[in-house]
Amino acid sequence: MNQPAFTAHVLDTTRGVPAENISVSVFKINHSGTTLAQEQLATATTNTNGRVGQWNVPLKEVESGIYKFRFETGPYYDALSVETFYPYVELTVHIKKGQHYHIPLLLSPFGFTTYRGS
């Protein structure tokens, strides 16, 4: 696999521009009986195109399982002096080993949406 297992992209739908400088973290979720544990795998910051250009560690291939993406949206809106309902957005997804997953986030101060990108 030449590309990372995960890529991410954030678009500010209110302003009609990519959302730059949003911190993004990836966690592996592990269930053991009634215990839930999270292991942080990587972090990144969106670039001028709103994309995660590179994670702080290589994510070439990951195991199948449940993963969480946390987008720190509060500081983004604070920097714009815009009130927001969401201090962060967490997306939990099921990943299959050997596939590439693009995680886009379409963001506004009082709503968001996402889908499995390509």
Q: Which helix (H) or strand (E) holds 68?
A: strand 65-71
Q: What 3-state DSSP class applies to 89?
A: strand
Report whether 38 contacts 27 (CB < 8 A).
yes
- Annotated binding residue at 9? yes
Q: What is the reported pLDDT for 1? A: 47
What is the spatial distance between Cα 92 and Cα 85, in angstroms, rounded to a whole number? 19
Is the pTM of the predicted complex or chain greater than 0.75?
yes
Rounded to 5°, angle at Cα 55 from 103 and 84: 55
pLDDT along the chain (118 residues), means of 10: 80 97 95 82 96 85 90 97 97 90 95 91
Beta strand 101-108 pairing with 6-12: parallel
Q: What is the reported pLDDT for 2? A: 63
- Annotated binding residue at 51? yes
- Which CATH number, 3.10.20.30, 2.40.128.110, 2.60.40.180, 3.90.850.10, labels domain 6-114? 2.60.40.180
What is the spatial distance between Cα 42 and Cα 65, in angstroms, rounded to a whole number? 16
Q: Which helix (H) or strand (E) holds 73?
A: helix 73-79
Q: Where are the domains of the chain?
A: 6-114
Give me the DSSP letters along 8-66: EEEEETTTTEE--S-EEEEEEEEEETTEEEEEEEEEEEB-TTSBB---SS--S---SEE
